[in-house]
């Protein structure tokens, strides 16, 4: 897939933190464009590269077609325990989750993630799942939309946006991402920030369609269960809902004597990385180590 573009975020810090050395075995639970996998391979590690997106898997198979130290599997990291065992990788020395979406998924995949494009609002990372953003926007009740935008999107104008969506869809389905973005923009006309006014609404839809928060909680639990002693778990998150879950679950693992938190404060991108890759601005990397 020649148009598959993604610049890996916090590449050095993430791979340094995994303590990669020849002979060790790692899981890249969100392999995407393969940037982190590539770096682990370069340092002599063996990798089980997992992604739930068929396009990403196709891309990874192409990039690593001559590479013997990587195995590529389509799957969800919430099932990591099963995937690792089925593929003969248990136990492992490190697990990495680089959460969210690749630039390819947002900009190229045509799945309606961007309010700047005329694409059908689908928003599934994994085409084998059934719920789409189109279903939510066009069939959920006003109250359910309000709950979604306020709780998952942390959107202050959730009620007004839910009202407007229900009003507009009386005249026909809302199908296109730019159209949805414009509906939100119209409601939030006072908005003066740097962010597009529909950012939080789109984020809430993406998170729900892809069951991101539940998958993360299960994936963290499954991830620690496949690591051997001194094994490291690194997670890069991109918004506060995710980071809160990672912080809370790592604390709970520590309290239960499973291991220790390595990063008292999350690692973030420096100015140079942010300048080169604006996506890295919100990245937070945390590490946990099994005892
Ligand atoms: C930020 S990108 C990862 C980029 C990758 N680290 C790189 O350097 O190219 C996130 C990837 O994780 C995948 N993903 C997100 N949630 C997932 C899940 N629950 N299970 C498996 N893959 C997931 C997405 O499809 C996407 O390809």
Give pLDDT tens digits for 68-92: 999 999 999 999 999 999 999 999 9
Residue 287 has φ and ψ, to the nearest 5°, of -125, 145
pLDDT tens for each residue of 280-289: 999 999 999 9
For residues 53-82, give the mean pLDDT.
97
CA–CA separation, 32 vs 21, rounded Å?
22
CATH code, domain with 100: 3.40.50.150
Residue nearest to atom 13 of ligand 1 (CA): 30
Signed CA dihedral, 118, 121, 123, 129: sign only: negative
Q: pLDDT value at position 194?
A: 72
CB of 52 shorter than 6 A to ligand 1: yes
Across the range 204-225, mean pLDDT stands at 97
181, pLDDT greater than 70: yes
Residue at 6 is within a domain? no
Residue 48 lies in a domain: yes
Query: Does the Cβ of 50 fall within 6 Å of ligand 1?
Result: yes
- The Cβ of residue 118 has, within 10 Å, a number of other Cβ atoms equal to 12
* Domain that residue 74 falls in: 11-104+212-290
Measured from the CB, is residue 132 less than 6 Å from ligand 1? no
**Region 27-39: what's the mean pLDDT?**
97
With H, G, I as helix, E, B as strand and everything else as coil, classify residue 258: coil
Residue located via tokens 């942390």: 154
Q: Give the count of domains, the chain.
A: 2
Once rounded to an integer, what is the mean pLDDT over residues 117-128? Answer: 94
Which atom in ligand 1 lies closest to the alpha carbon of residue 77?
Answer: 20
- pLDDT for 191 equals 59
Do residues 204 and 217 both lie within one domain?
no
The average pLDDT across 225-248 equals: 97
Among candidates 214, 199, 186, 201, which has minimal Cα distance to 136?
201
Q: Residue 86: its pLDDT value, please? A: 97
Q: Say yes or no: CB of residue 208 within 6 Å of ligand 1.
A: no
What is the reported pLDDT for 110?
86
Judged on CB neighbours under 10 Å (0-12, 13-18, 19+), 221 is: middle
Q: Quick one: which of 250, 147, 133 has its CA closest to 180? A: 133
Q: How far is the CA of 181 from the centre of ligand 1 (A)?
A: 25
Instruction: Label the pairing between strands 46-51 and 25-28.
Output: parallel
In a domain, 113, yes or no: no
> What is the rounded average pLDDT of the residues 219-242?
97
pLDDT score of 106: 82
The mean pLDDT value of the chain amounts to 95
Q: How far is the CA of 64 from the centre of ligand 1 (A)?
A: 17
The model carries a pTM of 0.94
Report CA(10)–ligand 1 centroid distance (Å). 14
Terminal Cα distance for the chain, rounded: 41
101 vs 64, residue with greater confidence: 64
Same domain, 58 and 202: no
7 has a pLDDT exceeding 60:
yes
Which one of 209, 229, 264 terminates a domain? 209
* Domain CATH code at residue 199: 1.10.150.170
């Amino acid at each position: 897939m020649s148009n598959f573009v993604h610049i890996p975020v916090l590449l050095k810090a993430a791979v340094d933190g995994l303590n990669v050395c020849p002979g060790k075995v790692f899981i890249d639970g969100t392999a995407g464009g393969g940037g982190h996998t590539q770096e682990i391979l370069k340092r002599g590690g063996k990798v089980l590269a997992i992604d739930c997106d068929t396009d990403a898997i196709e891309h990874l198979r192409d990039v690593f077609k001559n590479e013997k130290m990587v195995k590529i599997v389509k799957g969800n990291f919430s099932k990591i325990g099963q995937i690792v065992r089925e593929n003969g990788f248990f136990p492992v020395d490190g697990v990495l989750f680089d959460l969210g979406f690749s630039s390819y998924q947002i900009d190229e995949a045509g799945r309606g993630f961007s309010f700047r494009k005329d694409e059908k609002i689908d928003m599934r990372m994994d085409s084998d799942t059934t719920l789409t953003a189109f279903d939510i926007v066009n069939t959920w009740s006003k109250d359910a939309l309000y709950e979604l935008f306020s709780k998952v999107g942390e959107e202050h104008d959730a009620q007004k946006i839910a009202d407007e969506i229900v009003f507009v869809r009386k005249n026909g389905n809302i199908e296109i991402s730019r159209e949805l973005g414009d509906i939100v923009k119209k409601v939030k006309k006072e908005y003066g920030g740097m962010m597009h006014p529909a950012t939080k609404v789109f984020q809430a839809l993406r998170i729900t369609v892809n069951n991101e928060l539940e998958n993360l909680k299960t994936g963290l639990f499954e991830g620690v269960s496949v690591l051997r002693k001194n094994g490291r778990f690194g997670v890069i998150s991109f918004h506060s809902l995710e980071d809160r879950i990672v912080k809370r679950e790592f604390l709970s693992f520590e309290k239960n004597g499973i291991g220790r938190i390595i990063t008292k404060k999350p690692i973030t991108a420096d100015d140079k990385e942010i300048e080169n890759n604006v996506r890295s601005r919100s990245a937070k990397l945390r590490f946990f180590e099994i005892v």
